[in-house]
Structure 1
Amino acid sequence: MSDEVRGWLSPKAVAAEAGVSQEFDLSQCVREPIHLLGGIQSYGALVAARLEDAVVDTVSRNAADVLGRAAEELVGRPVTELIGEEQWALARESMEAGSLGEEAADGGSGPASERVADGGSERGAGGPAASGVLALSLESGDGRARLFDVTVHRVAELLVLEFEPRSAEAPFVFQNFYPRVRRALHRLQGATGVTECCAAAVREVQALTGYDRVVAYRFDGADGPGQVVAEVRNEGREPWLGLWFPATDIPPQARRLYARNWIRVIGDVDDATVGLLPELREGADEPLDLSGSILRTVSGYHLEYLRNIGVASSMSVSLLHDGELWGLIACHGDESRRLTPEVRAACEFFGIALSLQLAAVAEREQADELSGYRRALATLLARLSSQEPDALLRPDSGLAELLCADGALLVRGGGTEVSATGDPVPAALPGLLERLAGASPVGEVWSSDRVPEVLGLDPAEAEEQGLPAGLLFLPFNRDGDLLAWWRREQPAPREWAADPARPVRTGPGGERLTPRGSAAVHRATVRGRSTPWTPAQRAVAGELWREMSGLLSRQMAELAARNTELARTNEDLDSFAHAAAHDLKEPLRGISNAAAFMVEDAGDVLDATSLRRLTTVRRLAERMDGLLDSLLHFSRLGQVGLERQELSLDEVVDDALLVAGGRLAEQGVTVVRPAPLPRLRADRERLREVLENLFVNAAKYAADEGASGERRVWVEAVPVAEPGGGEEVAVVVRDNGIGIPPGQQEDVLQLFRRLHRREERGGGSGVGLAVVKRIVERHGGRLWLESPAAAPDGEREAGGGPGTAVWFTLGAS
């Protein structure tokens, strides 16, 4: 078996083929070039002549019986010797004015088609051939004219004429035939749903043709299996309604051919194929291309299958939607049956009308569905109080519910930021999105209701990897930003006309293809699929993308304006810092010095009140100088770059104690490290400053004298949960001092805010905790307070106050 064939056949089909008789080779169905079978059905005759000079190129070998002239006499002679100049001109005009045809197609062993394909070759005409039908007459040996219905189409440089003897029945009268077609189309147009349309169609096609069984067969996707969605049958035939037929019944090549031709008729399954003369065209090394032939012969595999289920004749009418094969109307007869060109034309016209009606129904249903989704989208957008994209991911936003999904997520920064709503995100989803998004156009919806199949995975394997069954997403840009929805697997029970895992079975008497039908129903559950995404859902997802793109564009413009304003503010801040460092501090030093000189020079003659006032002036000037120093330091923290490095937290604590240790010792506060501290990444100087401020605060706000127990401050590293999931390390500096009331914990983190008067608790400017918070935020971390705080196990009795615990993280390195 060739690699090409193995690429089409599923692993199950290959295994099934290996398990049956070696006489049967399923891959032959793929390789057989059905458009080059080199024969026609015997009830008619074929003549192909060159357009440039009217010389006959190919003739069917039954020309003598049907046309009264031997094939050998016609090949190489002008076709006008057979039909005359006038009728040749009519044939050319018919071809040029006829409707645009497509290559004919044969399908598989399902309810509608031949189990064959063209092997991937679409040679010959090089595209659709114009075709038409006209009446021609030929003189017989006794001088009487014989009438033929002649179908005309073009194959490359040849004009092909297919002669069907005119029926002996009464001549076709359009005004008698038209009312039937009109009534049928009227009933069809009255149908409101797909199933109702198909049910009306099969009834009307049976009335037009007289076949014993007519079914409507709908495909599940371009390469998927098919289901009988409507059926009309004569008494005695088993029901097929609702049954599924495996995808292998109609290979992709056959489906493409069906999509290029509206109708295919097999008059008699026992008909003896008539060959062509010559068998191989001169200079081509292959038979005449019969892709557009009405009389084209039939694959032996399909004829065998039809005989096995008791069918003597058949017809298939293609149903198309947006140029793609949607399904088929399949007809089976218990006896051989020839359809006149008029009836075939009516069926073809009916297939076109049904395709248009089905498209109209689908568009109407989609419009109604889309209208509902648009209302939901408008509600979702109107409910957003924030203009940030993350607001879409709030639990009450309705984003997941918008597309009836189990969850939704927003990915930004190439996967560095992931926000989600709905069910927990499947474990492997972020990685899958990164893999798929790179090959998807920006702003174009990608969706699948069978992700495991797309990835070539077994459903159980996909479930083990944590993959969803359904996925829909839109890339916002090439930076990895996207919005996605996912759905869980929804196992679906199906009734198959045959086991899809065994597409080939040997039958009684050595038949290679056995009948399928309700007598051999195989019940199975389809796994690895979710509820399908509808066109309306894909459309509203695209509309949401456009809304968000506009929102992001507006945000970018606002951000640019804010950045400009921020740059001006930073310039003003730099100017202020310079003024605070020089222009303001210089007068303060002058005021302080002048007050000091006055006290020194005139202190003996000044009264006590004046002396006290001058001392106050000097003290206030010095305090203002200290406040300016603190303010200048605080402002510069937002501008100084961080130099992160891996460092030992124990070593940084030791460095901080070199400065703060004296203050702690004055207050009798002991530093406790219950366990060795870890290594982490941070700016060493800034982290030291954080610890210095916290140690100094622990000294300032130690428990009041007389409290029982020893004054202590503990330093620890504790794992904590991150807001978006995951875990990070927090540093905790915990004391057993006087504590901070919960209502004032936010206040103490503000600049120049203290819990006590300046002269109490060792004084200070109220900048320390504000500096700590600013440094932590510059690292990308978080800071929070707890008070009262429990001391470590067994240590609570060692302290005399409720205490305060300062927790902070340092963000990702």
Structure 2
Amino acid sequence: MQKTNFDSGFCGNLPIHHINTIQPHGAVILVDKHDLTVVQVSVNIVEYFLLEVQEIIGRKLDDLTGLSIEDFLQGFGDGKKKRISLKIEPAHHTMSAWIMEHTHYYFIEIQPESDTYDSKFSGVQEVRELVDTLDTTNELQEACDLIVVELKRMLGIDGVMMYKFDADWNGTVISEVKTNGLEPYLGVTFPASDVPKQARELYLRNPIRLIPNRKYEPARLYPVINPLTNAFTDLSTCFLRGVSDVHLEYLRNMGVVGSMSLRVLHNGKLWGLISCNHSSPYELSFEDCTNLALLTNVISTKISSIINSREYQFVSNLQRDRNTIIDNVYKLGLEKGLFDGPQNILNLFDASGTVLFSEGKQFHRGSVPNRDFLDNIFLWLQAKNINQVYSTHHLVGDLEEAEEVHEITSGMLVIPISNRGAEYIVCFRPEFIKTIEWGGNPHETVNFEEGGLVYHPRNSFKIWMETVHQTAKPWHEQELQIANSIRSFLLEHDS
């Protein structure tokens, strides 16, 4: 059965950054950059300023908050800072304020401070301790396990999961620690639509997403349309940004009340998420969130360091073996240089079989399909005008005839090697049968009511097993770069 791609076709198109509501554990004020008058607020602002919303709109920022305009503007310094933090004291309340500079306005998020507030996270000291802990390992799985254990301890939260994305943005839980009856999901894969593409893009802008209580009553923005942009206000960088109904329902179906996600980046790209869940409301201050944002940088740096070190060794070995093969081609000629010796094209690309089409002949090593199929492959490459490196880990998807021999040809790498005619190196990889444990039926990630206007997330996360056939281990990006370098060498050698 073909899975419906809700990630790109539906969920990925929902404008969650224009939800126009916030969570009510804080409030929002927008002020015009030109004259610092208030142009838009969240309606729950009345709880903190003891004024009606209509009385607040149009007021000067200093008049409303008691904040010195000079201090406010100096906070942004020479213009390089785009976000600053300050304290304000409206109506005798001390509040933390996060201020983000936008093109036409300043976006201010405020949160009350409380003497009775019991922070669950002790900040920079906790970050230092985690750095020291992570310095004890250079193994990816061990580092992930340490991270989830230490985060659970630091935060006093019921469950922590490390969630790694694959090439299709499905996420697999690679480490977890849970208590208080939360369902275990270690090894379970969740479809890409659970964290759709626009949500993933927001994690590149915001390192943390906190939902203290999924049962909250949203506070809408007033007026509805931002008068400076004549559109909904973009809440992409807002800590308090409201949550879509479908995600709140998703959390309810998982038995979660408080939720927080921390991004994990690898070389500037989203690699995974750390999902923290609580069976009751879970509160953090702006300062806690700031320290946790710092912690995500520490975690991402460690993860990237381990992966880059492993990649460096992998690439070094590839380059060494490629250089040996190139030397052998110089010394022994094309066929023997590619196939003979301990360092050969089979080992270089971790292939089970390989064929050289050259000067109207076929030379092969390892496990390859029958002659008729190889003849068809040769004709197919010519018909498709394959003149660049081509790769697939699902050959049946491109060539139906490959189904008959998919056990040994599920993966194929093609390197064109001549400017004078149809000559190729073709490497095959065998079928790698993979069983995926999905968190619920991946074909039913979104359920529509009759009429197709109202929809709901799946209500069951019971393991749904899928066995994937006719695919091979994917070709690594660095292997494709090595293939291109071999192609360049052989084209030059051929001329």
* TM-score normalised to structure 2 length: 0.85
Partner Cα distance (2:464, 2:216) in 1: 33
Aligned-partner Cα distance in 1 for 2:390–2:201: 23
Could you give the per-residue CA deviations for residues 129-172 of structure 1, whole angstroms, max 9, x where no partner exists? x323x2322241xxxx4211112223331110000111324798
Q: 2:16 aligns with which of 18, 24, 34?
A: 34
- CA-CA distance at 1:369 after TM superposition: 2.6
Corresponding residue for residue 264 of structure 1: 209
2:316 to 359, 367, 371: 371
Determine the C-alpha separation between the residues in 2 that align with 1:434 and 1:258. Answer: 44
Which secondary structure does the structure 1 equivalent of 2:205 belong to? coil
* Aligned residue number for residue 443 of structure 2: 501
Q: Which residue number in structure 2 is paired with residue 146 of structure 1?
A: 93
Corresponding position: 1:164 with 2:111:
yes
Distance 1:375 1:439 in 2: 26
Contact 1:393 1:421 in 2 (8 A): no
* Cα 1:248–1:64 shift into 2, 3 Å: closer
Shift of 1:184: 1.0
Residue 131 of structure 1 corresponds to 83
1:424 aligned residue? 368
SS at match of 1:77: coil
Aligned to 1:360: 305
Give the conservation status (yes or no) of the 8 Å contact 1:437–1:475: no
Q: Which amino acid aligns with 2:141?
A: T
Q: Which amino acid aligns with 2:403?
A: E
2:144 corresponds to which residue? 198
Unaligned runs of 5+ in 2: none
Secondary structure at the counterpart of residue 93 of structure 2: strand
1:280 equivalent to 2:205? Answer no
Counterpart for residue 3 of structure 2: 12
For the residues of structure 2 that align with 1:49 and 1:68, how far apart are their CA atoms?
19
Q: Which amino acid aligns with 2:45?
A: A
Q: Which residue of 2 is the match for residue 593 of structure 1?
A: none
Q: 1:513 aligns with which of 457, 461, 475?
A: 457
Is 1:344 aligned to residue 292 of structure 2? no
What secondary structure sits across from 2:276 in the alignment? strand
Structure 2 counterpart of 1:164, one-letter code: Q
Q: Choose from 25, 28, 37 the match for 1:43.
A: 25
Q: Residue in 2 aligned with 1:449? A: 393
C-alpha distance after superposition, 1:713-732 (max 9, x if no partner): xxxxxxxxxxxxxxxxxxxx
Task: State the SS of the aligned residue for 1:12.
Answer: coil
User: 1:400: which partner in 2?
Assistant: 346
Number of the residue aligned with 2:411 = 470
Percent identity between the two aligned chains: 26
Match of 1:82 among 53, 60, 64: 64
2:39 counterpart residue number? 57
Contact 2:151 2:160 in 1 (8 A): yes
Kindly state the Cα deviation for residue 393 of structure 1 after the two structures are TM-superposed.
4.3
Q: 1:533 to 1:159 in 2, by over 3 A?
A: same
Cα 1:418/1:230, change in 2 over 3 Å:
same
Partner-residue secondary structure (3-state), 1:337:
coil
Q: Which has the higher strand share?
A: 2
Q: Is this contact kept in 2: 1:311–1:334, CA < 8 A? A: yes
The 1:474/1:311 distance shift into structure 2, 3 A limit, reads same
1:69 lines up with 2:51 in the alignment: yes
Higher relative contact order (CA 8 A, sep 6+): 2
Please tell me whether the aligned partners of residues 16 and 198 of structure 2 are also in contact (alpha carbons under 8 angstroms): no
Check whether the contact 1:315–1:331 (CA below 8 A) recurs between aligned residues.
yes
- 1:371-405 Cα deviation digits (max 9, x unpaired): 33344344444555745333334466721122111
The match for 1:804 is none
CA offsets per residue over residues 403-457 of structure 1, 9 Å max, x none?
Answer: 11122344568xx6665433325545435545776585xxxx654434455x4x8
Paired with 1:477 and 1:55, the residues of 2 have a C-alpha distance of 69
Helix, strand or coil at the partner of 1:13: coil
Q: Structure 1 462/548 Cα, relative in aligned 2: closer, same or farther at 3 Å?
A: closer
Contact 2:433 2:468 survives alignment (8 Å) = yes
Shift of 1:12: 3.2
For residues 267 and 171 of structure 1, do their structure 2 counterparts lie closer, same or farther at Cα, with a shift above 3 Å needed?
A: closer
Question: Which structure has the larger Rg over C-alpha atoms?
Answer: 1
1:746 is matched with which residue? Answer: none
- How big is the shift at 1:363? 1.5
Letter matched to residue 137 of structure 1: I
Contact 2:322 2:348 in 1 (8 A): yes
Residues of 1 paired with 2:36 and 2:74: CA distance? 14
- Residue 432 to residue 339, structure 1, CA distance change in 2 (3 Å): farther
CA shift, 1:247, in A, is 2.6
User: Is the counterpart of residue 240 in structure 1 residue 185 in structure 2?
Assistant: yes
Residue 488 (structure 1) aligned to one of 424, 430, 442 = 430
* Deviations 1:589-646 (CA, angstroms, capped at 9, x unpaired): xxxxxxxxxxxxxxxxxxxxxxxxxxxxxxxxxxxxxxxxxxxxxxxxxxxxxxxxxx
**Structure 1: distance between partners of 2:433 and 2:40:** 55
Cα distance, 1:315–1:94 mapped onto 2, change above 3 Å: farther
| TM-score scaled by length of structure 1 | 0.54
| Structure 2 CA distance for partners of 1:541 and 1:34, relative to 1, 3 Å | same
Any stretches of 5+ residues in structure 1 without a counterpart? 1-9, 18-25, 101-129, 557-813
Contact 1:36 1:286 in 2 (8 A): no
Paired with 1:432 and 1:131, the residues of 2 have a C-alpha distance of: 57
> Taking structure 1 as reference, are residues 315 and 390 closer, same or farther at Cα in structure 2, changes over 3 Å only?
same
Deviates more, 1:271-280 or 1:372-381: 372-381
* CA distance in 1: counterparts of 2:164 and 2:223, whole angstroms: 40
CA 1:63 to 1:387, structure 2 compared with 1: closer, same or farther past 3 Å? same
Change in 2 beyond 3 A, CA 1:481/1:349: farther
Alignment of 1:177-188 (within 5 A): 177-188=123-134
Distance in 2, matches of 1:151 and 1:191, equals 36
CA separation of 1:297 and 1:536: change in aligned 2, threshold 3 A:
same
* Helix, strand or coil at the partner of 2:4: helix
CA deviations over 1:187-219 (Å, ceiling 9, x no partner): 123222221111111122222322211100011
- Within 5 Å, give how 1:329-728 maps onto structure 2: 329-384=274-329, 386=331, 388-394=333-339, 398-410=344-356, 419-424=363-368, 427=374, 429-430=377-378, 433-434=381-382, 438=386, 440=388, 446-452=390-396, 455=398, 463-464=403-404, 468-475=409-416, 482-504=424-446, 512-517=456-461, 520-545=462-487, 547-548=489-490, 552=493, 556=495
CA contact (8 A) 1:407 1:424 kept: yes
User: Match for 2:110: what amino acid?
Assistant: F
Deviation at 1:532, TM superposition (A): 2.7
Instruction: Tell me what 1:317 maps to.
Output: 262
CA displacement 1:3-38 (0-9 Å, x = unmatched)? xxxxxxx95338xx9xxxxxxxx9764443111111
Whether contact under 8 Å (2:88, 2:97) holds in the other structure is no
2:113 partner letter:
R
In the alignment of these two chains, the number of paired residues is 483
Q: Aligned partners of 1:139, 1:378: CA distance in 2, in Å? A: 70
Write the distance in 2 (CA, Å) between the matches of 1:247 and 1:65: 39
Equivalent-residue separation in structure 2 for 1:96 and 1:472 (angstroms) = 55
Q: Please say if 1:299 is aligned against 2:244.
A: yes
Q: C-alpha distance in 1, partners of 2:205/2:194?
A: 19
- Deviation for aligned residue 1:226: 1.4
